[in-house]
Amino acid sequence: MKLRPAFVILLTAILMLSFSSQAKAEDSKGKLKVFILAGQSNMQGHGFIKADEKRNGGKGSLEFIARDAKTKKQLAHTVDVKGNWVVRDDVWIWYLDRKGGLTAGFGATEERIGPEFQFGHVMGEHFKEPVLLIKLAWGGKSVAKDFRPPSSGGETGEYYKLVVKHTKDVLSNLKEHYPAYDGRGYELLGLGWHQGWNDRVNQAANDAYEENLSNFIRDIRKDLGEANLPFVIAETGMSGPEEKHPRALSLMKAQAAVAKRPEFKGNVAFVGTREFYRPKEESPSGQSYHWNTNAETYFLIGDGMAKAMLDLLKEREVVK
C-alpha cells in the first residue's frame, strides 16, 4: 500500500512527538544532586544527641531541643510519629567509614551530629531528585598545612589530596558507595566548608588564611573539574558575639573577606555563625572549641550553610 505524502508527514510528526516526550520524561527524572561537606572537627560535628538529664536537664542536646517548646517546631521534620529520628531515603550520606540514609548520628561519632544533619534535611526538602552528601572532615587540620592547596606553594597538604581522592572515588563508583543509585547521572553542585581553629591559633597561618583559602577554592574547582563550583564558608565563630581575641577576630575577618573578593562574587558565600553560640550553662559541656557540644548550634550552622548554598545555586541559574 502506498502512503500518501500528507499521511507520511503526519506519521513522522507523531513519531517525533513521541520520541520528544520520552526524552523529556527521561530528562525529568533528574540527576543525583551531590554536595561535599569538608573541614575539621566542627565539620565532623560534636553536637550531643542524647540528653544527659543530670546536666542542666539535658539542655543543648538534640533530644532536648526536639522536645523543648522553644525549638521543637523547627525540628519537627527530623522526628517521626513514634519519636524516632527520621531516616531519609532521599538523602544519602557517605562519611569515610560510614554511610547510610541521613539521620542523627553522622557526626564525629554515632552519638553526635554536625552541620550535615540539617544541611541534608534542607536539601532533601528542596530537591525532587535524590541527594548525596560526601562528608570529608578530620579533626585538628589547618589550611596552612593539612589542607594546603597546590597554588599556595610548598608541599600540598595530605588532606587536600584526600578531599580530591575521596570525592573522585565516590563519584566514579556511585553504585558501590550509594547502593540505591539508579544510574541517572549526577551533578556536583557545591562544597560547604567549616574549618579554622588550627589556623586561628597560629599567627603565621592566621595571616595567610585569606590567601590560602582563596587558593583552596580555585584549586579544588580545577582538580574536581567544576569551574565556579558554589562554595559556602561557615564562620569559625565558636566563642560567640563577645569574642575579643585578636587572632580569632582576624581569622573570621579573613573568612568573610574571601567571599567578598570580586572573582568569587555570586559563587562563594560566607555564613556568620557567632549568633548560633550557646553558653556552657545551656549546653552539654564547656568545650568551647567545639561550640560547647551544643546540638542546636550545629543544627543552625547546617541550616545557614544550606540556605546560603541554595542562594548561590539560584544565582548561578540567573547567570546561565
We report the CATH number of the domain holding residue 150 as: 3.40.50.1110
203: in domain: yes
Give tens-digit pLDDT for 33-48: 999 999 999 999 999 9
Residue pLDDT, tens place only, 261-274: 999 999 999 999 99
Name the residue range of residue 264's domain: 33-319
Does residue 18 belong to any structural domain of this protein? no
Closest alpha carbon to 188 in 122, 129, 132: 132
Q: Bigger pLDDT: 23 or 218?
A: 218
Q: Is residue 72 part of a domain?
A: yes
Which of helix, strand or coil describes residue 192? strand
Which helix (H) or strand (E) segment holds residue 132: the answer is: strand 131-137
CA angle 183, 185, 186 (to 5 degrees): 130
C-alpha cell of residue 239: 566563642
Question: Position 123: which residue type?
Answer: M
Contact 269, 259 (CB under 8 A): yes
How many Cβ atoms from other residues are within 10 Å of residue 141's Cβ? 24
pLDDT of residue 23: 41
pLDDT band at 314 (very low <50, low <70, confident <90, very high): very high
Let me know if residue 162 belongs to a domain: yes
Q: Is residue 19 part of a domain?
A: no
Number of domains in the chain: 1
* Alpha-carbon separation of residue 45 from 106, 169, 259, 262 (angstroms): 8, 23, 23, 31
Angle (nearest 5°) at CA 95 between 89 and 97: 110
Whether residue 201 is contained in a domain is answered as yes
Average pLDDT over residues 171-185: 97
Task: Name the strands in the sheet holding 32-39, side by side, starting at the edge strand that comes first in the sequence.
Answer: 98-101, 91-95, 131-137, 32-39, 186-194, 231-234, 268-271
Residue 8 forms part of a structural domain: no
Q: Name the percent of the chain lying above pLDDT 70.
A: 90
CA–CA gap between residue 282 and residue 227 (Å, rounded): 42
Residue 298 lies in a domain: yes
